[in-house]
A = this chain, B = another copy of it.
Amino acid sequence: MNKLTDRQKIILSLVVHEHTRTAQPVASKTLINEYTLKISSATVRNEMNTLTELGFLRQPHTSAGRVPTEEGYRYFVSNMVQHTALPSATRNTISHHFYQSRKGLEYWLPLAASVLANNSQAVSIVTAPHSEKVTFKHLELIATRASQVLMVLVLVGGEIQQQIISLDVIRSQEQLSNIAAQVNRVCENTSLDQIKSLPATPDPLLNQVLTAVIDQMSLASKLVTGELYSDGLTNVLSEPEFSDYNPEYSPLRLLEERSLLDDLIARTVLTEEIGGVQVLIGGENTWQELQNCSVILTRYGVEDQLSGALGILGPMRMPYSQTIGTVRYVAELMSGLVSDNLVD
């Protein structure tokens, strides 16, 4: 696979850079003008020809410059994007944002989305972290009106679920607190399966509450990741990739149809260890919606406990090196924050 000569690699990378910058097909002459190459345009043309035959470049028409193909981008990203860290100025700006934000995931998630969007000129995707194993932490029952009860369920990891339960009989807050205390005693740090296999209880209220708990926990166990935060839509609306095509296959469906995003996350980053950044270029023949787009995704959080996905969706023509660096850095920050605030 890696059978390009050094010179071919340089030319491919220059074409990618130049095309990213100008959005135009790149001519051999442009290359030797803009960059200091010690070879002539004719040589560049010959090499471009080879790269075209290899499938890494293509010509929009006979007498136009070259544009990288999907394969070209893929080769570029896997072989030539050196994982240099982000400039420290950028890192500081980003971490500063987190530092001066209010504390709490509910602030960090939209902040991460905003930072990613602003540093990438693409659409950001951030999902709230979620624990693979759903474990009971704490239950609270709060009397509201008449026989309605607000049930608040806290899971290990810190996710909070709420549900309104209608009882057959009106109960006092004391009675409710009593039941909640019983449930807490039995269930703390207990997994869904364990709770399911608890012996039946004669108390109908306790029964109803346990059923509701099991119901909520089952629901949570089916989630791939938590809520979606996104930002930077206006960054890409002017890009033809996002507005021209068939609305049936708009890449923005990824933001609106949760099942699409979940599928994408499940099939890429969820199978990876935290820390690895995945780059999907042009849908990889699997996601039709992503033609002409690229997705950079990674997983963040604490391995085996609480993790979410974060990254960006942008036109295929994007500054991969910088964007990958940003995604990686934001994920590192978020992992640290999640880890420091783990509820276990």
Contact = CB atoms under 8 A, between A and B. Distances in A.
A2 to B, nearest CB: 40
Given A152-B154, A158-B162, A160-B152, A242 B234 contact: no
Q: How often does this chain occur in the complex, in copies?
A: 2
Contacts of A152: 140, 152, 154, 160
B163 A160 contact: no
A202 interface: no
A255 B243 contact: no
A106 B242 CA distance: 30
A266 interface: no
Interface in A191-209: none
Nearest to A113: B256
A343 B150 contact: yes
Given A238-B247, A243-B243, A104 B138 contact: no
Interface stretch (A5-13, A141-149, A311-319): A141-149
Contact of A158 (B103, B150, B250, B341): B150
B250 A231 contact: no
Contacts of A31: none
Chain A, interface SS category: mixed
Interface in A253-299: 253, 255-256
A80 interface: no
B142 A154 contact: yes
Contacts of A238: 243, 247
Given A140-B140, A154-B142, A164 B104 contact: yes
Contact of A142 (B142, B234, B247, B343): B343
A130 interface: no
A148 B341 contact: yes
Interface string A91-103: 0000000000001
Interface string A221-233: 0000000000111
B237 A237 contact: yes
16 contacts: A104-B163, A104-B164, A137-B142, A138-B140, A140-B152, A144-B158, A144-B342, A148-B343, A164-B343, A232-B256, A233-B233, A233-B255, A233-B256, A237-B242, A237-B243, A238-B247
Instruction: State the 10 A-B residue pairs at the shortest beta-carbon distance, nearest first.
Output: A243-B243, A144-B343, A138-B142, A234-B247, A140-B140, A234-B250, A164-B341, A150-B343, A237-B243, A233-B252
